[in-house]
């Protein structure tokens, strides 16, 4: 499951819980209000209308339900027992005692007994009381019914909103895919066009002898550029395939960072940049794929070299909260170059996203950072771009304006 799906699932779960408890609180408050009005005004009025107020006392819905149950049971007993050649007197007396024990009988025993026995001769007299019973039940259930409808409607609206967001994201994904294909074509066609032009000129014999070496070197450089794009693209696709797995082992992350800095040192000098390495001397062991993690750190250093002007200072720092347990290990690759514009920074980790100058100059393919993100995610690490003023909280130095941070 992708991170976006997980995020949507958590968002929906949070919405359902919050909306459920919100509706429950509102319904409970309304229910208290409805129960109070029903017990105080409606039920006494209904009992008076049904003319049972002379023999029974009802002070709430529970009493009404209890009385209706006993009276209906009495009517059933009076109808069934004569058919069985048995007297219902004992049962009627028992039901009468049930009402008396619960305080629902307010008249004399004789009046209650006469009323109970009269039910066998006039069962229709119960209909008004039963109707009152269902009316009260509907009124008491109304807040929950309305609450359920409100909850269902709000959930349906939220689901539609999520579906619309998914559709929008799908369209954006399609647009990014088409843009990626366009960029791949651009990055391959440009050098190949140059190679074809130079090769044709050499083949037609129109290149002066003293210029042939220059043309051959240009062909070689453009071919290397094409190979670089193809190799990075293959690596990016390979990391996204189901069959690829990283091979973790116990490695010294401090030594790994130093090795990456040493590997890039010649490129740093050639670009006229400066590198400052701040890595602890003592070993710090973590579980990771040394080959793939080296690619990430090297990519970040190379990225700083390619996309910053001459004289830029690059800082590579490793920090750890607890060196004994190797908890919260973080690698920082910072530089003093200009900040990345916000509109570009939002999409910096997407495939083939580069600055306009980088694409025009061929300084980058736009695959290095997406490749690094994938490797970090496969390790369970996090790669993030941090710029001013947030970068200050890492205490890397006041001169740095942006940093790529790997949290392990």
DSSP string covering 77-103, please? HHHHGGGGT---HHHHHHHHHHHHHTT
Examine the domain organization and report whether 27 and 140 are in the same domain: yes
Q: Which two tokens stand for residue 31?
A: 């229910």
Give yes or no: residues 37 and 166 share one domain: yes
Question: How does pLDDT run across 32-88, given as a tens digit for each residue?
Answer: 888 888 777 777 777 677 665 555 555 666 666 766 676 677 667 666 666 555 455
Residue with tokens 């940093």: 403
Same domain, 27 and 103: yes
Q: Are residues 259 and 226 in the same domain?
A: no
Q: Tell me what pLDDT residue 360 has.
A: 45
pLDDT of the residue at 322: 77
Q: What is the pLDDT of residue 31?
A: 84
Give the tokens for residue 90.
Answer: 């004992």
Residues 274 and 177 in one domain: no
- The CATH number assigned to the domain holding 267 equals 3.30.565.10
Same domain flag for 140 and 288: no
The pLDDT score that the predictor gives to residue 359 is: 43
What is the predicted pLDDT for the residue at 407? 93
Q: Which two tokens stand for residue 24?
A: 């429950």
What is the reported pLDDT for 1?
Answer: 45
Q: What is the pLDDT of residue 30?
A: 87
Res 38: pLDDT:
78
Q: Which domain holds residue 369?
A: 249-407
List the structure tokens of 155: 């959930």
Pair (113, 204) in one structural domain = yes
Identify any residues that bridge with 320 across adjacent strands, giving them in sequence order.
Answer: 329
Same-domain pairing of 259 and 212: no
CA-wise closest residue to 334 among 266, 267, 257, 405: 405
Residues 231 and 264 placed together within one structural domain of the fold: no
pLDDT digits (tens, 9 = 90+) for 364-391: 556 778 888 888 988 999 999 999 889 9
Contact 225, 189 (CB under 8 A): no
Helices (H), 212-283: 212-239, 253-270
Same domain, 131 and 277: no
**pLDDT confidence of residue 96:** 61
One domain, residues 370 and 317: yes
Q: Are 30 and 24 in contact (CB under 8 A)?
A: no
Domain boundary among 186, 213, 244: 244
Domain endpoint, select from 244, 277, 302: 244
Rounded distance, CA 208 to CA 274, Å?
41
Virtual torsion, Cα 70, 75, 79, 82, nearest 10 deg: 70
pLDDT number for residue 131: 77
Single residue among 180, 213, 244 that ends a domain in this structure = 244
Report, as ranges of residue numbers, the positions in the chain whose pLDDT lies below 50.
1-2, 86, 356-362
17 and 107 within one domain: yes
> What total number of domains does the chain contain?
2
Whole-structure pTM value: 0.53
């Amino acid at each position: 499951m992708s991170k976006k799906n997980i995020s949507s699932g958590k968002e929906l779960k949070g919405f359902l819980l919050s909306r459920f408890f919100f509706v429950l609180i509102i319904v409970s408050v309304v229910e208290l209000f409805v129960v109070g009005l029903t017990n105080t005004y409606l039920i006494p009025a209904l009992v008076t209308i049904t003319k049972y107020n002379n023999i029974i006392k009802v002070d709430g819905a529970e009493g009404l339900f209890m009385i209706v149950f006993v009276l209906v049971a009495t009517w059933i007993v009076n109808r069934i027992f004569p058919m069985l050649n048995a007297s219902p007197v004992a049962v009627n007396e028992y039901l009468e005692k049930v009402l008396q024990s619960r305080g629902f009988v307010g008249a004399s025993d004789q009046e209650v007994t006469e009323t109970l026995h009269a039910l066998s001769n006039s069962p229709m007299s119960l209909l008004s009381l039963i109707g009152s019973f269902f009316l009260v039940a509907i009124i008491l259930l109304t807040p929950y019914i309305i609450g359920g409808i409100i909850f269902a409607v709000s959930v349906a609206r939220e689901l539609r909103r999520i579906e619309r967001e998914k559709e929008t994201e799908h369209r954006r994904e399609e647009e990014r895919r088409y843009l990626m294909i366009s960029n791949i074509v651009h990055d391959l066609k440009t050098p190949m066009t140059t190679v074809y032009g130079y090769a044709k000129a050499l083949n037609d014999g129109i290149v002066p002898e003293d210029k042939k070496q220059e043309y051959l070197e240009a062909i070689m450089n453009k071919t290397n550029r094409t190979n670089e794009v193809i190799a990075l693209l293959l690596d990016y696709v390979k990391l996204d395939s189901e069959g690829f797995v990283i091979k973790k082992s116990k490695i010294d992350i401090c030594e790994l960072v130093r090795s990456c800095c040493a590997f890039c040192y010649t490129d740093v000098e050639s670009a006229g940049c400066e590198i400052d390495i701040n890595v602890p001397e003592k070993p710090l062991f973590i579980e990771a794929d040394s080959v793939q993690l080296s690619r990430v750190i090297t990519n970040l250093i190379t990225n700083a070299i390619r996309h910053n002007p001459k004289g830029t200072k690059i800082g590579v720092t490793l920090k750890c909260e607890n060196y004994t347990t190797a908890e919260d290990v973080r690698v920082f690759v910072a530089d003093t170059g200009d900040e990345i514009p916000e509109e570009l920074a939002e999409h910096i980790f997407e495939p083939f996203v580069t600055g306009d100058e980088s694409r025009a100059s061929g300084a980058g393919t736009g695959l290095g950072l997406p490749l690094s993100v994938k490797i970090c995610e496969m390790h369970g690490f996090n790669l993030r771009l941090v710029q001013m003023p947030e970068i200050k909280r890492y205490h890397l130095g006041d001169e740095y304006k942006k940093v790529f941070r790997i949290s392990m």
